[in-house]
Amino acid sequence: MTYDEFVKKFAEAAESVGDTVGKAANSAVKKGGELAEIAKLTLQKNNARQERDRRLISLGSLVYGAHAGAELCEEDMEKLYAELDSLTDKIEKLDEKIAKLRNTKTCPGCGRSVAKDYGYCPACGAKFEK
Ligand SMILES: [Zn+2]
């Protein structure tokens, strides 16, 4: 190998290493972005769950109040049902987004998060449709 050939080969090798490093860095940035997105979505989901819990407590108070003799306000009940439906929907959608980013799916049997390529749930044994 002549000196010129050596320099050329060396330059090519350096370029290809640089390329690999660049790709790894890009994928690390992407991974970091995904983790931040998962954290953000999880926070939104926890907030929605807390809101839903508060409404469930209100609903329970109304029902128990009725049992204890208070008049049950249908309007309040309907409002709470609608809010609960919408919060439940919101939580499900956030769960789907989080599962997609994590490359997991939710077991229909037990609700646990399972790797996407599993055929069975390792927690409850439910079989997944392909
Ligand atoms: Zn399961």
- pLDDT of 19: 66
Q: How many domains does the chain have?
A: 1
Domain of residue 30: give its range. Answer: 3-103
Amino acid identity at 119: G
- pLDDT of 32: 80
- pLDDT of 14: 67
Please indicate, yes or no, if residue 120 is contained in any of the structural domains. no
Please indicate, yes or no, if residue 92 is contained in any of the structural domains. yes
Please indicate, yes or no, if residue 46 is contained in any of the structural domains. yes
Please indicate, yes or no, if residue 110 is contained in any of the structural domains. no
- pLDDT of 1: 73
d(CA 39, ligand 1 centre) in Å: 24
Please indicate, yes or no, if residue 14 is contained in any of the structural domains. yes
Q: What is the mean pLDDT of each run of 10 residues along the chain (130 residues)?
A: 75 68 70 88 96 96 93 92 97 91 89 89 90
How many angstroms separate the most distant Cα atoms in the chain? 100
Please indicate, yes or no, if residue 70 is contained in any of the structural domains. yes
d(CA 129, ligand 1 centre) in Å: 13
Please indicate, yes or no, if residue 66 is contained in any of the structural domains. yes
d(CA 90, ligand 1 centre) in Å: 22
